[in-house]
Structure 1
Amino acid sequence: MKIIGVVGLGNMGRGMALSLQRGGFTVLGYDPSPAAARTLAEAGIGIRTSVAALAKEVDALVLSLPTSQVVEAVVNGADGIAANGRRGLLVIDTSTADPASTRKLAAQLDEAGIALIDAPVSGGPKGALNGALTMVLGGSAEDVARAEPVLAAMSAKRVHIGDVGAGHVTKLINNLMCASHLLIAGEAMRLAEAAGVSPARVLEGVNAGSGRSGVTQTNYPTWILNDAFDSGFTMKLMRKDVRLAMNLAEATGTLATAPFSAQAGRLWAASAESVADDEDFNRIVQFIEGRKA
């Protein structure tokens, strides 16, 4: 693994490409946005004009894309990976995507002699830039081991969950839990205010007790209490992830026995009426159904 390609040079892909470059790899990239490509070119990343060109040159190809539909187009298009990648290529999909789509794509790529692992990430743009992401991995033990030097350059922690698709299942569950924690934390802090107690002080107490979560320990002090709301992850993206989690629950027959998850899914969908897609996802703590923001 010497030459690594990155498809998608946005907030996350840009940081991952630069982390790979610091890790000693030759890094090539592609993005349909000329501005995104130009920024990376100025940093010494070799820019290619198509996915096909990347797939023909690299040992591994990292995907950092917004939806399964985009991943499918990048894999199956005439200019895509399946038609142009050389045998032995390893595809590392860091997107948060539909596990069923991931498994289907992995089977299609396998017929072309190309391996795929799903490696969705947590840690945001800062983690991507610093090589400090957390990854949950789906794929064969052999493919994950082959990818390890590449993954290590981008992440601080990696957990191999299981076969292809297991990483994306885990990521959807993680994001559903985070989305739910944000909803209950928002309600709890409004309760604290109504009871005449400082939310910041209440959080100190919660974080010393059993009610704490990543939301109370990280999201609130980093992006919410200070009104920063600049995590780099949008309402649109979290709504997509929650929707995928709801689809997974429905497909597996578990939604009927998951009333709290179903309510979280409904509230996140309803928030689109008053919290814009481009707002930071932590804004959900201010959402009250039926009230305009």
Structure 2
Amino acid sequence: MDKIVFIGLGKMGLPMAENLRASGLEVIGYDINKSARNTFSGVTFDEVKKALSHAETVITMLPSGKEVKEVLFTDDNFQKTKPGSVLLEMSSSMPKDTKEIKHRLEGWMQVLDAPVSGGVSRAKSGELSIMVGGSKELFDKKVHIFDALGQKAFYCGKTGTGHAAKALNNYVSAAGLIAACEALVVAKKIGIEEDKFTEILNNSTGKNNTTEKKLRQFILNRAFNSGFALALMAKDVGIAKLESEDHGMSLKLLDEVSKYLNYSVKSFENDVDHTQIYEFVENLDFRS
């Protein structure tokens, strides 16, 4: 049986690791945070090199490629795995970081970039969307892992395309979030009840992920606790911007959405949920 070492037992990683265990797979957990390790129902180790020594497949679910590289390459930790083992890099990383990781692991570990979309709720329910880049043959061998985590795994192409797809998806999601929040603020000014306007959107062509899954659930009730940080959304959209520029494209709306998110992040003193951008929109001066 495939021995999986799952690195990163945070808001997303913990339910993903638990779903892998529930599917019958053998999972060993690691997180730098002791309380996160203690929350996991399976076996954990307090040192990453100890955990890696048991790995046939390593899954990383970390904030960015920077942390992934630190885990793998500090003291050559990756060499604690068995030669020929597999890395499923599921963090929200830059495609160039994934390509660098693959190059540095060549001859020891095989790599698939496999970031996810769906948030904490779908991580818990095992209904994530997974975007995968790398070898198609390796994708086919590891599809049972993706099946335990999500409702659909999409093979995107060469190394880095999974992370590129994730970043572009989050750009589209962020644009929809900003548009919905701005429209809601205007509707309130006009005198249309918030809940009524949300219902209008969800029965009209303005319907999107934010109007269906976020306005009532996290925004109108002021909960702002979807589990995905505003700073991470800004980071992902920044990756999409860099990818477009690296391919010779300067996209005006993408640039504006990226600036909007970065400005909103700076407006808050603390690290807030991405749905709290609604408060930022409410406080904007829209006068021309």
Q: TM-score range by the shorter chain?
A: over 0.9
User: Are 1:271 and 1:289, in contact at CA under 8 Å, matched by a contact in 2?
Assistant: no
Offset from partner CA, 1:22-75 (integer Å, 9 cap, x none): 0111110111111111222xx2x1112333223321221111100111111122
Displacement of 1:120: 0.7
Residue 286 of structure 1 pairs with residue 279 of structure 2:
yes
1:1-293 map, 5 Å: 1-40=1-40, 43=41, 45-81=42-78, 83-112=79-108, 114-255=109-250, 258-288=251-281, 291=284
User: Are 1:8 and 1:30, in contact at CA under 8 Å, matched by a contact in 2?
Assistant: yes
The number of residue pairs the alignment matches comes to: 285
User: Are 1:123 and 1:134, in contact at CA under 8 Å, matched by a contact in 2?
Assistant: yes
Displacement of 1:260: 1.1
Structure 1: unaligned runs, 5 residues or longer:
none
User: Are 2:181 and 2:281, in contact at CA under 8 Å, matched by a contact in 1?
Assistant: no
Displacement of 1:277: 4.3
Distance in 2 separating the partners of 1:236 and 1:59: 33
User: Are 2:56 and 2:81, in contact at CA under 8 Å, matched by a contact in 1?
Assistant: no
Task: Find the residue that maps to 2:213 and give its secondary structure.
Answer: helix
What letter is aligned with 1:228? A
Task: Find the residue that maps to 1:136 and give its secondary structure.
Answer: strand
Distance in 1 separating the partners of 2:282 and 2:222: 21
Structure 2: unaligned runs, 5 residues or longer:
none
What letter is aligned with 1:251? D
Percent identity between matched residues is: 30
Distance in 1 separating the partners of 2:107 and 2:280: 47
Task: Find the residue that maps to 2:129 and give its secondary structure.
Answer: strand
Task: Find the residue that maps to 1:74 and give its secondary structure.
Answer: helix
Offset from partner CA, 1:141-177 (integer Å, 9 cap, x none): 1111111111111112211111211110000001111
Query: CA distance change for structure 1 residues 39 and 79 in 2, over 3 Å: closer, same or farther?
Result: farther
User: Are 1:137 and 1:167, in contact at CA under 8 Å, matched by a contact in 2?
Assistant: yes
Displacement of 1:126: 2.6
User: Are 2:132 and 2:156, in contact at CA under 8 Å, matched by a contact in 1?
Assistant: yes
Offset from partner CA, 1:166-196 (integer Å, 9 cap, x none): 1100000011111111111111111111221
Task: Find the residue that maps to 2:12 and give its secondary structure.
Answer: helix
Deviates most, 262-271 or 72-81: 72-81
- Give the structure-2-normalised TM-score: 0.93
Query: CA distance change for structure 1 residues 234 and 212 in 2, over 3 Å: closer, same or farther?
Result: same
Distance in 1 separating the partners of 2:211 and 2:35: 36
